[in-house]
Structure 1
Amino acid sequence: MTASRSRADVLFDGFTYTVLSLLMLMVLYPLYFVIISSISDPDMVNLGKVTFYPQDPSLEGYRRIFGDSTIWLGYRNSLIYTVLGTSLNVVLTLTAGYALSRQDLSGRNLVMMMIVFTMFFSGGLIPTYLLIKGMGMVNTIWAMILPNAVSAYHIIITRTFFQGNVPLELLEAAKMDGCSNTRFFLQIVLPISLPIVAVMVLFSAVGHWNSYFQALIYLKDDELQPLQIILRKILISNEASEQMMDGLVNQAELVKMAETMKYGVIIVSSLPVLILYPFLQKYFVKGVMIGSLKG
């Protein structure tokens, strides 16, 4: 039988739920405001009359956004960079993390110290650019993939996970049955490590999808630009394509449509993450918990 709750417990729960509800409102309202602003009259938005529901709703902004070829080109490029980059990240991170978790690896602590060192010190932007240029990767898709192929933080997370979830006795038993290290990793370690695999896939995919600084530095051709750079041009530089503004000759109409599409492109670029995150949130939480464990 559960004990009766005291008045202090009820008050504490009420206070907790109230604070959490306010925090949730603070997080969700900006997103909701962007959504309703993207379908509202820009004049109403600028006058501050759009607060809780759209004013003079219209989907014209979204029609022009989805009818623009540069948006779809950016989607394609971002998808390519995300898939290729995430695949390389996961393969290198899992193999490195597992190798460094093995107690029979000579010098693993020294290697780990060198990896952690890179989290605090780096060569800087100019030496990095010269290195990328010297390797012939400037203005190629590899400039978006190879420089960040491995994350020191991700290696630490995977190493901690393998140390706590792959017992040495399991390896010894597999070796007695004639299992090689490669077979043990592929057929035994990976199937029992699906949570950390999912965490690495999600962390890497979100990072690649939101990446724009590397494209800003290394990519010159418009054909290679990811979606985030196209979004940046529209939001900051007001460089909407002619195809988006087709049929608008009046300057006032151009300004109004540009304001509407600013909100719309935010939603369009964030849509994949917004759809996936509620279903995959538990893996993000698991990743944070794994990284907080002592290992």
Structure 2
Amino acid sequence: MSGQSPEITAAPPVLPAAAVGTTPDRPTPAPRRRRGSKHRPVWEERPTPVGLALKGLVLTLVALAVLFPLWTVVLTSFSTQAETLRVGGLVTVPGELTLNAYRQILSGGVVSRAALVSVGITAVGTVISTIVSVLAAYGLSRPGSVLHRPILFVFLVTMFFGAGLIPTYLLVSSLGLINSYWSLILPGAVSAFNVLILRSFFMGIDQSILDAARIDGAGDWRVLGRIVLPMSKAAVAVVALFYGVGYWNAFFNAMLYINDNAKWPLQLVLRSYVLQGVSLPGGGTTGQVDAATGVVSGLPVQMAVMVLAIVPILLVYPFVQRHFTKGVIFGAIKG
């Protein structure tokens, strides 16, 4: 014993189990609730069996209301004329099936030619409208652009006021577009609503990213092509879908400006033949005999034309659907 007190070392403090592996400035994150977990937030009510049954019933009724008319149209297009006469109209239960209606409308004549016209107008019109809308929206989204506010005001005015039918017809006629395919594209090439959706999306892009690109020497065209468009695929896809559906379903401009039956789009053929019952000259869809029954094919051919007008949109929509909600909601919130 030399008089020196023994050195006492303090034991390290014991941390609670919840604090192990955490830092004071980084608290432990709350565990994520797994789907189907019994732990629910206090504001989320526990579903009752009656509520779940009612939701399922309502969704089933809505699905049937949407699918049943489509089912009857498709089934009638594959049925014979004798089958439609037996049931007195549209066929709901499969009976005698045949492809004669589709053979008739695709073997040449007005219907097949009108389908090609609609495909061409939709493709060309969608590309032109999307490019013009993207350029206009990008220019209006830049605060320092020339005449930014007056041009934006003009776009807003066109959403509420139109020139009218007669002035528009006189303008198209003075431009020499009567009986031309361009009369189906140019009068409605730009939609102010779609331009505003794209403008709202472009304005939501972080300005620091665009400034960094300009510091690196990128011009407006490179900023638009390399930065803005890749970040705006959702909005551009939605706008392209809007334009495509609009061009595919349009018939009124063709009814006004197209006098040659050989230049009719499919929707005008659908309106004239299916709704009005007009005999199409050279169409090859009236007066033909069903090979199975020997009876003239009427209603099945009409429904086949309708299916031909619906199918392209049904095929394209699933590829754009995942962008639809994101693009439209973003534009609605920011616009």
Q: TM-score, structure 1 length as denominator? A: 0.89
* Alpha-carbon offset, residue 174 of structure 1: 1.3
* 1:197 pairs with one of 236, 241, 248: 236
State the partner residue of 1:260.
300
* 2:314 pairs with one of 250, 267, 274: 274
Q: TM-score, structure 2 length as denominator? A: 0.79
Select the structure of larger CA radius of gyration: 2
- Tell me if the contact between 2:138 and 2:199 (Cα under 8 Å) persists in the aligned partners: yes
Structure 1 residues 18 and 182, CA gap change in structure 2 (3 angstroms): same
Amino acid of the residue matched to residue 240 of structure 2?
V
1:158 is the counterpart of 2:167: no
Distance 2:302 2:90 in 1: 16
The range that moved more, 128-137 or 190-199, is 190-199
* Alpha-carbon offset, residue 107 of structure 1: 4.2
Deviations 1:59-110 (A, max 9, x none): 2212211113322211221121111111110111011111111122254233
State the partner residue of 2:125.
85
State the partner residue of 1:24.
63
Structure 1 residues 169 and 131, CA gap change in structure 2 (3 angstroms): same
Deviations 1:143-174 (A, max 9, x none): 0111111101100110111111x221112111
Gaps of 5+ in 2: 1-32
1:244 is the counterpart of 2:279: no
Amino acid of the residue matched to residue 210 of structure 1?
N
Distance 1:290 1:253 in 2: 57
* Alpha-carbon offset, residue 127 of structure 1: 0.6
Structure 1 residues 109 and 24, CA gap change in structure 2 (3 angstroms): farther
* 2:113 pairs with one of 73, 79, 89: 73
Amino acid of the residue matched to residue 269 of structure 2?
I
Distance 1:231 1:52 in 2: 22
Amino acid of the residue matched to residue 30 of structure 1?
P
The range that moved more, 238-247 or 176-185, is 238-247
Gaps of 5+ in 1: none
- Tell me if the contact between 2:288 and 2:297 (Cα under 8 Å) persists in the aligned partners: no
- Tell me if the contact between 1:40 and 1:58 (Cα under 8 Å) persists in the aligned partners: yes
* 1:231 pairs with one of 260, 263, 270: 270
Distance 2:297 2:76 in 1: 12
State the partner residue of 2:211.
172
- Tell me if the contact between 2:83 and 2:91 (Cα under 8 Å) persists in the aligned partners: no
State the partner residue of 2:150.
110
Distance 2:324 2:213 in 1: 32
Distance 1:93 1:67 in 2: 38
Distance 2:283 2:189 in 1: 36
Q: Which segments of structure 1 move beyond 6 Å, counting only runs of 4 or more?
A: 4-7
Query: Higher helix fraction: Structure 1 or Structure 2?
Result: 1
- SS in structure 2 of the partner of residue 11 of structure 1: helix
- SS in structure 1 of the partner of residue 314 of structure 2: helix
Distance 2:299 2:91 in 1: 17
State the partner residue of 1:3.
38
* Alpha-carbon offset, residue 37 of structure 1: 1.4
State the partner residue of 1:64.
104
Higher relative contact order (Cα pairs below 8 Å, separated by 6+ residues): 1
Distance 1:171 1:7 in 2: 47
* Alpha-carbon offset, residue 246 of structure 1: 5.8
Amino acid of the residue matched to residue 227 of structure 1?
L
Distance 1:188 1:222 in 2: 45
State the partner residue of 2:164.
124
- SS in structure 1 of the partner of residue 268 of structure 2: helix
What does 1:199-214 align with in structure 2 at a 5 Å threshold? 199-214=238-253
The range that moved more, 135-144 or 180-189, is 180-189
Distance 1:268 1:119 in 2: 32
State the partner residue of 1:40.
79
The range that moved more, 67-76 or 28-37, is 67-76
RMSD between superposed Cα atoms in Å: 2.4
Amino acid of the residue matched to residue 126 of structure 1?
I
State the partner residue of 1:283.
323
- Tell me if the contact between 1:238 and 1:258 (Cα under 8 Å) persists in the aligned partners: no
Distance 1:205 1:271 in 2: 14
